[in-house]
Amino acid sequence: MSEMGPATKRNAQRLADAIREVATDLRHHRLADRAQQGEFADYYGKAACPITACFVLCRQYGLHTIADRLARGEFDACMDECNEYWRSPEGQETARMLPTGMRNALNLSVANDGDGTNDE
């Protein structure tokens, strides 16, 4: 996985800081560390639904105020994070899998990788 972009890092840090503000237990601090590393970032986390995974852990660990904030979308990815993803190697790979019409509808460009697979 490529490195987190600046917008993704900022949002991951915001979530980690929010968790640390209410942390009362070692597992809370470990959860904050995981958040800071991007585990729960929409476009960077490895889980199918990283925010949902964080929500479940927050409920399980008694961090209900953070879970409520997650449910309200406070830590959802912003457009800058989305754009970082589409520019990343993973995002480009995903874009190549989309039909041309869908890429055009989403205004996604695919960098030419030289093998002709993304030629229109």
Q: For the segment 68-88, what is each residue's pLDDT rounded down to a tens digit?
A: 999 999 999 999 999 999 999
Give CA separation, 90 vs 16, 64, 108, in Å.
Answer: 24, 33, 13
Q: For the segment 21-59, what is each residue's pLDDT rounded down to a tens digit?
A: 999 999 999 999 999 999 999 999 889 999 999 999 999
User: Contact 94/103 with Cβ under 8 angstroms?
Assistant: no
Contacts of 88 (CB under 8 A, 6+ apart): 2, 5, 43
- The H or E element that residue 119 is part of is none
25 or 106, which is more confident?
A: 25
Q: Report the C-alpha gap between 37 and 14 in whole angstroms.
A: 12
